[in-house]
Amino acid sequence: MRKTYIFFAALLFLPLLVRAQEILVIPRDATLEGNVFRVGQRIDVDGTIEGDAILLGTDVTINGSVGGDLIVAASRLRVNGTVSGSIRAAVSELGLDADVHRNVTAAGGRLLQAPDARIGGSLAAAFSRLEVNGSVGGSVDVVASQFVLGGTVTKDVRVRNEIGLPNEAVGTTHVKSSATIGGALVHFGPEAATVEDGAAIADGVREDTASIFSARTLNSLRLFWKLAGFLSLLSIGYLFLWAFRRSTNAMAGAMVDAPWKSLLIGLAALILTPFATILIGFTVVGIPLGLFIMAFYVMGLYLSRVMAALVIGRWLLRFAQRRLLNLPDKPWAAFLLGAFTLVVFVDLLLHWPYPSAAWVNTIGNLASFVVAIWGLGGIIIGKFRLLRKEHRGEVPA
């Protein structure tokens, strides 16, 4: 539990990513005593860390050894060395070609365990695609759209083919002929698990139409998945705020000064842009332009949450300061507070699977929709305001 608190506390240091070293290397002949905390765009650990390693970055590679736990928030994590403790990671892509002595708890887009890799304890993970080709000394509890097992698991394997709320199962589970399970394969999904001839499953396969995980396990996986989204929002948001300071101020100003106009323009952009892109794409010349517009459209939808978080955070900071709380009046602080509020109250509380209060999820979906079009409209209005001022020569281009 203490390591979990450290992991959440490390989120407060994410603003440092925008000023972090691009490449940070711990050489092969280096040995760092005690616990290590590093922030960088790219982090390579080729040497030895005797304690815990807490690493925040875009691309993290472990070729050396970590004597304690490895705690990582990154876009991509590759572990090729030895971890004497456990791994806790929120990443888009996780590659395991390592000897992990204890447990692995992770969430993200894709996890691939190499055939020679070993996990001494258990694996608990939530990924879109997950492949276990090495060995796991304990049990495997996963939520995944696609799950492939080709290695050896000493205890039970419990798989739920979904990424989302209960009873919205999607995806497949495939057990290769090379797989060995010391316990049972318990599977929940829209289709039965595929088991190749030659696979050894000691206690057989059980297809379950009800939830195969305890409420506590499901909630833990759900929380970890939300944490991965929170980290992604923070990382992209801080980079955007750092790179486009003047633009973000104009966009946030538009959302505050003209909220209804922002909502209407955001709604129009949300509906009309895909149709306009399709029409443009009917011509050969228009195909590249259509792809360009769609790329900005998708990026704008994601950044709309960033802008909404910034504005909400500013409101909350001003409210707190009126209550004589000494909080920093900085954009990074406002964005951190706003992003946390969005994730906790909109993404988590209002989208939680309440058995007898489905109307709460409806409110959550409506809130997410309003946030998206409000932020998108603010981005468009703010950018046009800046272009108009630059044309008039009021601000430097």
Domain that holds residue 369: 244-392
Is residue 223 a part of any domain in this protein?
no
**Which residue, among 232, 371, 380, has the nearest Cα to 310 in the 3D structure?**
371
Q: Do 272 and 372 belong together in one domain? A: yes
248 three-class SS: helix
Q: What is the C-alpha separation between 397 and 384, in angstroms, rounded?
A: 13
Q: How far apart are CA 81 and CA 94, in angstroms?
A: 14
Residue 221 lies in a domain: no
- CA 306 to CA 382: how far, in whole Å? 14
SS3 at position 389:
helix
Same domain, 39 and 182: yes
pTM over 0.85: no
Token pair in block for residue 215 = 């409420």
Q: Last residue of some domain: 216, 236, 271?
A: 216
- Whether residue 37 is contained in a domain is answered as yes
- How many helices and strands (H and E) does the chain possess? 7, 23
Which residues have C-beta within 8 Å of that of residue 28, sequence separation ≥ 6? Answer: 46, 47, 63, 64
Q: Report the C-alpha gap between 373 and 84 in whole angstroms.
A: 47
Residue 361 in domain: yes
Tell me the two tokens of residue 371.
Answer: 């946030």
270 & 329 share domain: yes
Specify if 225 maps to a domain.
no
Residue 68 lies in a domain: yes
User: Does residue 336 share a domain with residue 204?
Assistant: no
Cα(207)–Cα(205) distance, integer angstroms:
7
Last residue of a domain, one of 216, 234, 258: 216
212 plus 248 within the same structural domain = no
pLDDT of the chain along its 397 residues, tens only? 445 444 444 444 444 444 445 678 899 999 999 899 887 778 999 999 999 998 887 889 999 999 999 998 888 899 999 999 999 988 889 999 999 999 999 988 899 999 999 999 999 998 889 999 999 999 999 988 899 999 999 999 999 886 544 444 457 899 999 999 999 999 988 788 999 999 999 999 998 755 555 556 666 666 777 777 777 788 888 888 887 878 888 888 888 888 899 999 999 988 888 888 777 766 666 677 777 778 788 888 888 888 998 899 888 888 877 766 665 667 778 888 888 888 878 877 776 666 666 677 788 788 889 998 999 998 999 888 888 877 777 655 4
Question: Is 235 part of any domain?
Answer: no
Does residue 228 belong to any structural domain of this protein? no
Domain identity same for 386 and 267 = yes
Do 117 and 97 form a contact (C-beta atoms < 8 A)? Answer: yes
Asked whether residue 163 falls in the same domain as residue 250, the answer is: no
Both tokens of residue 376? 């998108």
Query: 375 and 269, same structural domain?
Result: yes
**Same domain for 375 and 322?**
yes
The pLDDT assigned to 63 comes to 96
User: Is residue 89 located within the same domain as residue 19?
Assistant: yes
Query: How high is the pLDDT of residue 77?
Result: 94
> Is 364:298 a contact under the CB 8 Å cutoff?
no
Contacts of 187 (CB under 8 A, 6+ apart): 158, 159, 161, 173, 193, 205, 206, 207, 208, 212
How many domains is the chain built from?
Answer: 2
Check whether residue 111 and residue 199 sit in a common domain.
yes
Domain final position from 216, 235, 269: 216
SS3 180: strand
Q: Please give the pLDDT value at position 94.
A: 95
In a shared domain, residues 262 and 207: no
